[in-house]
Amino acid sequence: MTMETELSPGFQEPVHGAQQTFRAVLDALSRPGIPVPLSGIEAAPDPMGPTLAAAALTLLDHETGVYLAPPLDIEAVKRYIAFHTGAPTVSEPADADFVIALADRDMPDILQLKTGCAEYPDQSATVLLGVRDFGSGEKVLLSGPGIAETQEFSPGNLDAGFWTTARQNHARFPLGVDFILCGPESVAGLPRSTSIAV
Amino acid sequence: MYVSVKGGEKAIDKAHELLAKERRGNPGVPEITTSQIAEQLTLAVDRVMSEGSLYDRELAALAVKQARGDLIEAIFLIRAYRTTMPRFGYSTPVETSRMAIRRRISATFKDLPGGQILGPTFDYTHRLLDFELEKENPADEDPPATRPEPVDGHTPRVLELLGNQGLMEPPDGACPHNGSDDDSIGDLTRQPLGFPADRDVRLQNLARGDEGFLLALGYSTQRGYGRNHPFAGEIRMGEVRVEFVPEELGFAIEIAEITLTECEMVTQFKGSKNVPPQFTRGYGLAFGHCERKTMSMALVDRALRADEFDEERVAPAQDEEFVLAHSDNIQATGFVEHLKLPHYVDFQSELELLRKMRAEIAKTHVEAAE
Amino acid sequence: MEREKAYNFAYLDEQTKRMIRRAILKAVAIPGYQVPFASREMPMPYGWGTGGVQVTASVLGQDDVLKVIDQGADDTTNAVSIRKFFKKTAGVETTTETGRASVIQTRHRVPEDELRPDQILVYQVPIPEPLRFLEPRETETRTMHALEEYGLMHVKLYEDISRHGHIATTYAYPVHVNARYMMDPSPIPKFDNPKLHRMAALQLFGAGREKRIYAVPPHTQVHSLDFDDHPFEVQKWDKACAICGAEDSFLDEIITDDAGGRMFVCSDTDYCNRQCEGVAK
Handedness of CA C5, C6, C7, C13 (dihedral sign): positive
The pLDDT, as a whole number, for residue B145 is 64
Query: Residue A91 and residue A99: Cα distance in Å, rounded?
Result: 11
Which of the other chains make 3 or more beta carbon contacts under 8 angstroms with chain B?
A: C
Residues of chain A found within 8 Å of residue C65, distances taken between Cβ atoms: none
Q: Tally C-beta pairs within 8 A across A and C.
A: 109
The pLDDT, as a whole number, for residue C57 is 98
Kindly list the structural domains of chain A, giving each domain's residue range(s) and its CATH number in brackets, ordered by start: 10-197 (3.40.50.11310)
Distance of CA B160 to the CA centre of its chain: 25
The pLDDT, as a whole number, for residue C191 is 96
The pLDDT, as a whole number, for residue B139 is 66
Residues of chain A found within 8 Å of residue C57, distances taken between Cβ atoms: none
C-alpha distances (whole Å) from B79 to each of A12, B59, C46, C48 are: 33, 11, 12, 16
Residues of chain B found within 8 Å of residue C110, distances taken between Cβ atoms: none
Which residues of chain C form beta strands (DSSP E)?
Answer: 35-36, 65-70, 93-94, 103-107, 120-124, 175-177, 181-183, 202-207, 212-216, 222-224, 251-255, 262-266
Closest residue in B to C109 (Cα–Cα)? B345
Query: Residue C39 and residue C55: Cα distance in Å, rounded?
Result: 10
Between A185-194, B48-57, B137-146, the lowest mean confidence (pLDDT) is in: B137-146
Average pLDDT for B92-120: 91
Beta bridge partners of B243: B254
* A178/C146 touch (CB, cutoff 8 Å), yes or no: no
Query: Is C272 tagged catalytic?
Result: yes
CB A71 within 8 A of CB A100: no
**Active-site hit among C51, C72, C208, C266:** C266
Q: Are strands B231-244 and C35-36 parallel, antiparallel or unpaired?
A: unpaired
Quote the pTM value: 0.92
* C252/B350 touch (CB, cutoff 8 Å), yes or no: no
Instruction: Write the pLDDT tens digit of every residue in B223-244.
Output: 999 988 899 999 999 999 999 9
Asked whether the bond before A47 is cis by omega within 30 degrees of 0, the reply is yes
Confirm or reject contact between C100 and chain A (CB < 8 A).
no
Query: Is C241 tagged catalytic?
Result: yes
What is the nearest CA distance from B13 to chain C, expressed in angstroms? 10
Query: Is C276 tagged catalytic?
Result: no
- CB-CB neighbours of A83 under 10 Å: 12
CB B54 within 8 A of CB B30: no
- Mutation to test the A interface, candidates C13, C219, C223, most A Cβ within 10 Å: C219
The pLDDT, as a whole number, for residue A3 is 45
Query: Residue A109 and residue B24: Cα distance in Å, rounded?
Result: 66
Between B109-118, B170-179, B209-218, the lowest mean confidence (pLDDT) is in: B170-179
> Who among C29, C35, C59 is closest to A193 (CB)?
C29
Instruction: Mark which residues 103-142 of A lie under 8 Å from C by CB.
Output: 117-122, 124, 126
Helix (H) or strand (E) holding B366: helix B344-369
> Who among A61, A63, A193 is closest to C31 (CB)?
A193
Instruction: Write the pLDDT tens digit of every residue in C86-106.
Output: 999 999 999 999 999 999 999
* B338/C45 touch (CB, cutoff 8 Å), yes or no: yes
Per-chain mean pLDDT for chain B: 89
b/e map B312-338, b = 16+ CB within 10 Å: eeebbbbbbbbbbbbbbbbbbbbbeeb
b/e map B341-352, b = 16+ CB within 10 Å: bbbbbbbbbeeb
Residues of chain A found within 8 Å of residue C60, distances taken between Cβ atoms: 19
Query: Residue C22 and residue A126: Cα distance in Å, rounded?
Result: 10
* C33/A26 touch (CB, cutoff 8 Å), yes or no: no
Average pLDDT for A57-65: 96
Residues of chain C found within 8 Å of residue A61, distances taken between Cβ atoms: 15, 18-19
The pLDDT, as a whole number, for residue B138 is 67
* C109/B76 touch (CB, cutoff 8 Å), yes or no: no
For residue A105, what pLDDT band results from cuts at 50, 70 and 90?
A: confident
For residue B7, what pLDDT band results from cuts at 50, 70 and 90?
A: low
Alpha-helical (H) ranges within C91-230 are 138-147, 151-164, 193-196
Between A92-101, B3-12, B37-46, C53-62, the lowest mean confidence (pLDDT) is in: B3-12
The pLDDT, as a whole number, for residue C139 is 94
CB C111 within 8 A of CB C69: yes
- CB-CB neighbours of C62 under 10 Å: 16
Query: Residue A55 and residue A48: Cα distance in Å, rounded?
Result: 11
Average pLDDT for B23-31: 96
Query: Residue B303 and residue B267: Cα distance in Å, rounded?
Result: 10
pLDDT in tens, chain C (281 residues): 677 777 899 999 999 999 999 999 999 999 999 999 999 999 999 999 999 999 999 999 999 999 999 999 999 999 999 999 999 999 999 999 999 999 999 999 999 999 999 999 999 999 999 999 999 999 999 999 999 999 999 999 999 898 888 888 999 999 999 999 999 999 999 999 999 999 999 999 999 999 999 999 999 999 999 999 999 999 888 889 999 999 999 999 998 888 888 899 999 999 999 999 886 55
The pLDDT, as a whole number, for residue B178 is 41
Confirm or reject contact between C235 and chain B (CB < 8 A).
yes
For residue B146, what pLDDT band results from cuts at 50, 70 and 90?
A: low
The pLDDT, as a whole number, for residue B199 is 92
Residues of chain B found within 8 Å of residue C165, distances taken between Cβ atoms: 357, 360
- CB-CB neighbours of B298 under 10 Å: 29
Between A31-45, A122-136, B133-147, the lowest mean confidence (pLDDT) is in: B133-147
CA-based end-to-end distance of chain B: 43
Asked whether the bond before A71 is cis by omega within 30 degrees of 0, the reply is yes
- Mutation to test the A interface, candidates C25, C55, C118, C176, most A Cβ within 10 Å: C25
C-alpha distances (whole Å) from A154 to each of A133, A160, A162, B299, C219 are: 9, 11, 12, 63, 21
- Burial (Cβ within 10 Å: 0-12, 13-18, ≥19) of residue A122: buried
Helix (H) or strand (E) holding A127: strand A126-130
- In chain B, the percentage of residues whose pLDDT exceeds 90 is 62
Average pLDDT for B295-314: 93
